Amino acid sequence: MCSRSIQSNIDAALVVGPHDDVAWLGTTPAGEGVYAVVHRRGGVFTHLYRVAEGAVRGRGGLVHLEAVLPGGRLREARQLAAYRLSARLDAPPVRAPLQAAE
């Protein structure tokens, strides 16, 4: 896991590299966190994650990979989160990737 500012135990459950972009998108009706991550190792892929806080005791949240999109597609991941997960999107529309701090 790259060293970055951890905002909560939910964030700690995501494994990201130093060149990955991480975007908090919002929450599901069940209160699960929804994230999009553009991974850049072995090619560029955008993953949509749903994270259940406290699902695994002492280890942060339980991470569910909901979708894999080829390329850097944060906007499409945001739309998919709203459609597939009925996520309440707390963040403004993604205009530029959020860079994971090193």
35 is a domain residue: yes
Residue 94 has pLDDT above 50, yes or no: no
User: pLDDT tens, 6-63?
Assistant: 344 445 567 788 888 888 898 888 888 899 999 998 899 999 999 887 655 556 678 8
**pLDDT at residue number 56:** 55
Residue 100 has pLDDT above 50, yes or no: no
In 3D space, the residue among 40, 33, 51 whose CA is nearest the CA of residue 16 turns out to be: 40
28 is a domain residue: yes
In 3D space, the residue among 9, 15, 7, 24 whose CA is nearest the CA of residue 92 turns out to be: 24
Domain count within the chain = 1
61 is a domain residue: yes
Domain ranges, residue 13: 9-89
97 is a domain residue: no
Q: Are 10 and 51 in contact (CB under 8 A)?
A: yes
**pLDDT at residue number 52:** 83
100 is a domain residue: no
| Distance in angstroms (rounded) separating the CA atoms of residues 8 and 14 | 11
The residue that leads in pLDDT, 93 or 19, is 19
| Distance in angstroms (rounded) separating the CA atoms of residues 78 and 47 | 11
